[in-house]
Structures are given as C-alpha cells and as structure tokens.
Structure 1
Amino acid sequence: MTTQVYLDGAVPYPAEFAEIYRKKGYWLGQNLSNFLRESAQKYPQNIAVYDADKAVSYAEFDHLVDYCTSHLYQHGLRAGDKAVVQMPNHYQFYVLFFALIRLGALPVMSLPAHRFAELSSFFKQTQAKAYFCADFGAQKFDYRELAEKLQQTAPCLQHIFVLGNAGKFVAIQNLLKETHILDEAISPTTADQVAFLQLSGGSTGVPKLIPRTHDDYLYSVRESAAICRLSQSSRLLMVLPAAHNFSMSSAGSLGIFYSGGAVVLGTDPSPETAFSLIKKHGVTDACLVPALVRPWMDKAAKDQDPILSTLRCLQVGGARLPDAVATRLIDEFQVNLQQVFGMAEGLVNYTHFDMTKEQIIHTQGLKISPDDEILVLNDNDQPVKAGEVGHLLTRGPYTIRGYYQAPEHNARSFTPDGFYRTGDLVRIREDGCIVVEGRSKEQINRAGEKIATEEVEQALLTHPQIRLAALVAMPDEIMGEKSCAFIAWQAQTDDPSPIRLAMSVRQHLKDYGLATYKIPDRVEFIEQFPYTAFGKIDKKRLRQQFETNTNVLA
C-alpha cells in the first residue's frame, strides 16, 4: 500500500500501528504544551531550571512560555511555521522550545557547533521563517554574522532573534517580558502530529531531519523517566548541548520536567565547571558522552575528589562506552553507572540499576518498550543465529517511519514494512541485553577480512596509557583497505620512541588476543581528537590526516 505523507514530507505511522499503540497506552494524546502545563500545575514551586544566574520555578517557566508565545505571535510567527533553534545552554532555550510548540510552530533543533553548511541546509529543507541564536559562542564565534549570511542565502528567513547583544536583530530577552497573553497565539499541534524536527547523529555529512510527534516522543520520555527513577528530588546536570536528543529525552530535561525535578545547566563540559555545579546544586544525575568521561575521571583522581561517587547516577550514551572505562568507573570511582544506547530516530536501550555488574559493564541494556521490534540481520538481510553479530533494524511506538523531506534516503534507510536500518552492528545476548559492536559503515575490509572498528578500539583502551583511540580505514592498492589506529597517549617520562611505542601497542593487542589481521597496520599518536557536533570522534577528519600528518609512525 502507498504510504501517505503529511507536513511537507513527514512519513506518518500506519493507522493500524497507531491504533495498537493507543490501545496499549503508549500514546496518550497529550501534546508537549499540555505536558509542561500539567507539570507546572503539579509542581508550581519546584525549581525547574538552574541557570548561571537564575532559578526558574515551574510556575514561572509556564508563564514565561505564555509570554514568549504571545510575543512571537506579535512578531508575525504563526502555527505551521518552522524555526531553526541554535541556542546555548541557558534557560531561554527551554522557554523558546515550548513557546514555539505552544504557538504550533515547529522547532528545528540545531546544535551550537553547526555552521553555515548545516544551517543553510536546514533552511533549504524546511523553509524556516525564523532563526534563534546567541550573540557569541565558543572561541568568540559571532552568530550574528552567520545570521546575516543566512539571510542573504535563505529568502524564507524573515525573523532573527538573538540572546545577548542582538545588534540590529530582536533581543530574545524581550520575548520573555510580561505581556498580555493572546489566546489566538496558543495553537499547538495535536498529539499525533509532528512536534519538532530533531537531527540525525551521523558522524559525517549534513544531518538529516527527524520528525518527532508529541505522542511518540512523550512515550519515550515517560518510560525513560521511570527506568531512570527520576523524581522531584532529582537534579540533572546538563553539560551536553541542551538540544541534543540524548539531553532532551533519555531521560534528559523532559524526563526531569515530567518528574518535577530540576535541570542544572552548565555552559561547558569541563570537569572544573561540572564539579563546581555538582557541589553547588547537590546534583544527583549527570549525562555524558564517552569522550568526556576520561577527563572527569582524570580530574577526580588527580584531586583525590570522591565527587563522582556522590552522584546517584552517571549516564553515558551517544556512543559505546569502552568496557575498560566502565570497569574503572565502577571499581575505582564507585560510580552508579547507567549505559544508554539510542538514536534520535527512536529506539533507546538502558542498563537498569538492578542489573548485575557484568551486564552494566559489558552491555548497553534493554529496550524501552515490549513493542520495540528488533531484527539482527546479515549482509543479505537474513536473520543471524542467536548471539551472533549483525545489522540492527528496528520499528516501534517511538521510532520514526521516515526522515523529513528525504524520499530517496528513506528508500535506503527503511524497509518496505517500516523497519529502520540503524547502521549499528549488534548482538543480542540470551538475557535480552543488546551489545553494540560497531557501525556497519565503519567496518574495514582488509583483503576480504572484515574488521569491526569498535572491537579493536575496545581492545586498545585496555592499555593503561591509552586515553582515547579510534580505528579508521586507509586506502591501499593491494589490500583494498588497511587500518590505522589514532591514539591519545598518556605520556610518561621513560616512554620510548614513537616507533617503539607503536610496536608495544601492537604487542598489547596480540597479548589481548586479537586476530592478526585486526592488528592496526599503522599507529598515529595525536594530542587532540576532532569531534563532530554530536560529540563523536570525527573519523572523516582523521582519515584526511593521512596526507598531512607526518608525526609518526609505523
């Protein structure tokens, strides 16, 4: 049957599946505007957000959203309009997000690290009429100059709002001033409609746009909050970009708002900033990507600070946490670790607090919903044997049925019966836990032998002097592809030469038990890894260093 589309190219859930999800109580018919309103009524005096210089209660939060909604309406925004939101971690981000939702407009969730290439693509795809940004970002990047450039190339862009020194644009601070609330401004979309557009977390290329409905997203939020055991006393430290899907819903800020707790916003993820906020606000929970875990551990160990053990829970997601790092967190730092494996397209898995230590260290946990359907297939789309590694496909009550405005890509990324091809290589254990073994696109084909980069990276990180590691493919005329390991090394005064270090790394992998063909053909030591906007190691940029980096090696 032909799939119907709506909202300029968002693929809906088939009617028969939507009926099942409603009957089973997954979809409650609640939109995000009422979601916040209900929390404000339940917890009016509770603090919802701690910013650097402001604490916002739930009652004030809801009022600010109403004021902002009316101001946006007065500036000419209407239900159905799209708006690119590129905001730093300040409470105004949440007010703007919910105000756009309450207006019936669709936020497009950009990240602070995005630049003209990504932003111009978002405007082209969505015809967004508004852009929200700060005045300056990291390294004094001027978003106002970016806004002017976007204005010149995106005729659809009519309204620019800036937090801080707005210059010739509209100051976001003015949108939050008390005003008469216009009833006609409040027109949120219904729960079965698209609420906002998230971004795919791919490591290369311009992110694809992900249409999330109120119903599907809030189901994920509610279940995540329960799994994560959030409550009114929860204080979640947010140092990752607030607009990131992990930050919003796993269980994230929305899980906190559902539970009546507080989000503690940090402007950068450094351990110095984070540890200060943990102590100041009595933070109970924090969420990190794996690349940020090691600096936190190093700082805590150096200062002999038991701060990590004061957290009720440290969540790590966005990429697989190396088993060796997970072991250290639990054994050395007494951290109550929760691994999270998910994607902005939908499926999320968690380790649970009552799982065994072995499950928490060596798996990425269990799926949220009994109706999360999971397939593990080989290269020919046939099921693998139980426990074997294969390609992960999924569909369910909070997994999208197609990217926004992307019919050609959808034909590749979704099966005819609606399963999403995640690009992940996984295996499912007898206990039902999922183990992520890498990305199918990150496999290295070395003379016909397939190397899963994740496996080699896990082995490298068992070396006590390796802080970070990434394995990438490099072209080879004879073998087709060879492997190169990029390593951030914890230097010691008696370290041998780089060539001997590379030899010792290879010997470590042999002793670990890796097959000979999996031992890296080349090893490079680097001081700083490049990262994507989503906090993942940028392997595309690493591969580009083959011609320019002559530091090393063997």
Structure 2
Amino acid sequence: MPTSDSPWLDKTLTDLLRENVERNPDGPAIEWGDTTLSFADLDLQSDRLATGLAEQGIGSGDVVSCQLPNIPEFLILHHAVSKRRAIFNPIHMAYRSSEMEHIVGFAESAMLVTGPPVKGFSYAEMGMDIQKRHSSLRHVVSLGEERPPGSLSLAELGQSPARAQEEDPQPQDPFLMLFTSGTTASPKATLHTHNMRMSNSWFCGKDMELRESDRMLCCSALSHMWAILNYWSSVIYGCPQVLLTRYRPEAFVSTAAQGQATVVIGAPVHAVDLLASPDLNPDDLASLRLFALSGSVCSPDLVRRLRNTLKGCTPVVFWGMTETGGGFYTRLDDPPEVIEKTAGRVSGGCTIAIHDDKGSTLPPDQEGNLVIKSPFGIHSYFKNPKATRESFTENGWFQTGDLAKIDSAGNVQMLGRRKEEINRGGTKYLPESVEEVVRRHPGVHQVAIVGMPDERLGERAVCFVVPAQGKA
C-alpha cells in the first residue's frame, strides 16, 4: 500500500478490476436504472470489447476518443481500452464539430466512439465528417441503432468472444488523455499513467473512508477528472458506482433514494439546485454520509446549508485540476468552520505552497499564488512545450493560477483565480469576497461578479444574479 515515503500503488485499472472479481465477483460494480453489472459482468464485457477493439487494430499507444454520457458503456469501454494498453480520451458531450476536430486531430485519435443521436443531432455523422480530414482516425463507432454508412457498431464490437490479450497493461503505461480546454491556439492535453491516477485515487478514497458497503452516486460527467477520479476510487475500494446520465434535482433525489446512495460526487451547482428543489425531502436522502464537492468555488453558506439540511451527511470540499488530480480536501472529522471556510489539507504524496510574484515561498496566512508538486501530476503538457514552460517553474512547481493562503494547520483558503482579479482604479480585489455577501440574501439563487472595461477606472465590477424561486 502507498505510504508517505513511497506513494505508489503500482497497480493498473485492469489489476484492480480483477482483484474485485477474485474477491467479490457477484458484487455490484455499476448500477444504472434497472441495470446492474457485477464486477464479473464488467470484466467479461470489457474483455469482449477489448477483443473487438483488437480486431479493429487498436493496440498499445493508440488513442480511443469517447463522447458518451454517464452510462455503463462508457465504463465498459474505459476498461476495454485499458486492457488493450491503449489510451482513453473522454470528451464532454456538449462539444460539437470545432471542439471535436481540434481534440481528435491533436490527439491523433485512432478511434472515436459516439453515443446515439440527441434531439436530431448525430454524433456519429459528426465523427464521419471529421474522419474525412484526419487520416489517423481509422474508425468511427456508434452506440446508436441507426448509424451512418462506414461507421462501426459498439454493440457488435462488444459481442466478440472474450480472449486473453497479448500482454497486460503495466502501471507506467499511459492510459488516459484529458484536455483542459476545447479549442485554443495552444492546445493543452494531459497524459496520465495508471500509477499516477490509481495511486492518487487510493489516497482520496482512503481519506473519504470508502468501503465496500458504500454506494457512490456521481452527478458530474465522467469526462471530467473529478468524476472519473472517484470512479477509480470506487474500483479500488470495491463499492458500486450508481450512474446518473443527466443531473436534475428530481432525478438525483429518486436515484439516490432508490439506490440507497451513501456517497455523492458532484459540483457546487448540484448542491445549489438540490437545496432549491421543491422535490427535496431530506428523509429520502437519509442514507447519505458524504457529499463531495469540487469543480468550482464552494461558498461557506452553501456548505452550511447542505450540512444543516442533510442531517448525518458531511460535505467534503475538494480541490483538484486536470493536471494534478486530487490535490487537497477537507476531511470527515474536520470541524464545521474548516469545512465551511477552507478546501482542507493536502492529499498524501503531494506538496503545496504559496509563492509571491517572484517565486519565493510565503509564510502561513499570507495571500499569494498557489503552487503544487505532486508525483501524481503531469510534468509537461502533451506536445506543448510553450504551455509547459509557462506553467511549471524551473524547480518543478506547477503554477495553478489560483490565489490562496494556507493557515498554520495546513488548511487552504481559496481566494479566487488570478485572472479573475478585478482592478478598480488601482484597488484590486477578488469577486468571490463580494459574491459571498450577495449570496446570503434570501432572494438570491446564484450570483456571479465579473470585471468590465471602464473608461475612468479602467475596470469596474458588474453583478449578475439569478433570483431564488418565487423571488423574481
């Protein structure tokens, strides 16, 4: 097991799935509506799909891009790609032709797997159009029953007979590619090995006190690092993943209640919408013990209201990035004021600091630039030396772009993004501090403050408010 001296788990995603099959083959691995896949089912179905991928020439180092929602096929494909020693590249469902062509072309994807049409839009047809301009894209695969000529069927690939692969994946194999943004002049792609991500997920799951009896409900899209990191934790600790294809408060409540979820993975917006929902009956969510929040700023007021509404459920605030995975977070036994006002302490194996603008480390409680060193983080961007030089210091610190301070106990208080700092006539401040005051008003559901050009002051603040239900 990882320790502070040796933080590596030295296992692959495939190793961890097989350990669950040996230990608890009939235990639930994935639950989605009325569908339940045991660990043995998941292993067998991903074996079959791995054979189908092999028959199409997918092997070590090939990039398989995937644009699927939170459904079992997403995770079956993830395991199958891992078994082929290929690289899994999940892409957000909202992306269309310009973003997709940028990603598929830059990654030199060998295969693109798409979902069924949604509201008349065909993801597979978009993929076939992109294929015309990118010779590296050998296959477009569709989950839908109706697919364009020349595309392959994911269901048919998954019906291939299961057979042992030529060689098993190794902990140091790259197995995941995630993009930090869509279309930019300087694309920022991150490449991760099994050992980086499984080791980091082991520490995160340990501090969340995950166990086989837990049931993890994921609200965030699995194409985000935050969501898929916690899926790996569920595999490591042997608990089922309850999938929610599309987040809506009423769907969340019914799925959590029906599935007796104990752990929720989401973003602050999910908690905001849940607390504002007329469908919320806290008794329906009595099984919850932990609500993990990440992805955007989490206000003290939101954490307080979540804790007061869902009795017996502890909010946990996480900080992480695509480049780093889980960096720091609050713990279950932290006092309420720590959970409400900070993003907790550093994860095992990682080191964080606050630097001034000259790169010197600042003492506790001093505001400055948040930097992190992590054995689980990338050390360069994929095919982008310019972005690497701009983001990493000479002695290996990754510059997150966040402004923060660290107290004497090691808890991090996030102050905002450096790029979001507003300079009003020479007075600089972060919008989060004002947003928190506005957010306390009972008539406010959501608030955002942004800087706008001003002829006299150079920049001024503009406040956008979404009123609470019935308060408009």
Q: TM-score, length-normalised on structure 2?
A: 0.94
Larger Rg: 1
Q: Secondary structure at the match of 1:183?
A: coil
Match of 1:141 in 2: 121
Take 1:353 and 1:22, find their aligned partners in 2: how far apart are those partners? 20
Pair 292,343 (structure 1): closer, same or farther in 2 beyond 3 Å: same
Take 1:203 and 1:406, find their aligned partners in 2: how far apart are those partners? 14
Q: Which moved more, 1:145-154 or 1:57-66?
A: 145-154
Q: Secondary structure at the match of 1:44?
A: coil
2:72 is the alignment partner of 1:91: yes
Q: Secondary structure at the match of 1:157?
A: coil
Map 1:20-31 onto structure 2 (within 5 A).
Answer: 24-31=5-12
Map 1:1-400 onto structure 2 (within 5 A).
Answer: 24-137=5-118, 139-167=119-147, 168=149, 169-184=151-166, 186-188=167-169, 190-200=170-180, 208-249=188-229, 252-299=230-277, 303-334=280-311, 335-346=313-324, 347-369=326-348, 371-400=349-378
- Write the letter of the residue equivalent to 1:50: E
Shift of 1:217: 0.8
Take 1:283 and 1:222, find their aligned partners in 2: how far apart are those partners? 20
Take 1:29 and 1:288, find their aligned partners in 2: how far apart are those partners? 28
Q: Secondary structure at the match of 1:468?
A: strand
2:386 is the alignment partner of 1:416: no
- Write the letter of the residue equivalent to 2:27: N
Shift of 1:303: 5.0
- Write the letter of the residue equivalent to 2:334: M
Pair 44,94 (structure 1): closer, same or farther in 2 beyond 3 Å: same
- Write the letter of the residue equivalent to 2:152: V
Take 1:426 and 1:196, find their aligned partners in 2: how far apart are those partners? 29
> Percent identical across equivalent pairs?
25
Take 1:104 and 1:116, find their aligned partners in 2: how far apart are those partners? 28
Pair 166,333 (structure 1): closer, same or farther in 2 beyond 3 Å: same
Q: Secondary structure at the match of 1:89?
A: coil
Post-superposition CA distance 1:385-404 (Å, at most 9, x none): 42021111111221211111
Match of 1:451 in 2: 429
Q: Secondary structure at the match of 1:191?
A: coil
Q: Structure 1 segments of 4 or more deviating over 6 A? A: 201-207
Q: CA RMSD in A?
A: 2.2
Contact kept in structure 1, 2:249 and 2:279, CA below 8 Å: no
Q: Which moved more, 1:482-491 or 1:356-365?
A: 482-491
Shift of 1:203: 12
Take 2:342 and 2:254, find their aligned partners in 1: how far apart are those partners? 31
2:411 is the alignment partner of 1:429: no
Post-superposition CA distance 1:412-458 (Å, at most 9, x none): 01111211111111110122111111001111111221121222222
Match of 1:489 in 2: 467
Shift of 1:84: 0.9
Post-superposition CA distance 1:20-49 (Å, at most 9, x none): x99933123322222222222222110100
Q: Secondary structure at the match of 1:376?
A: strand
Shift of 1:476: 1.6
Take 2:192 and 2:12, find their aligned partners in 1: how far apart are those partners? 12
Shift of 1:328: 1.0
Contact kept in structure 2, 1:27 and 1:219, CA below 8 Å: yes
Take 1:438 and 1:204, find their aligned partners in 2: how far apart are those partners? 23
- Write the letter of the residue equivalent to 1:425: L
Contact kept in structure 2, 1:453 and 1:471, CA below 8 Å: yes
Unaligned runs of 5+ in 2: none
Match of 1:406 in 2: 384
Unaligned runs of 5+ in 1: 1-20, 496-554
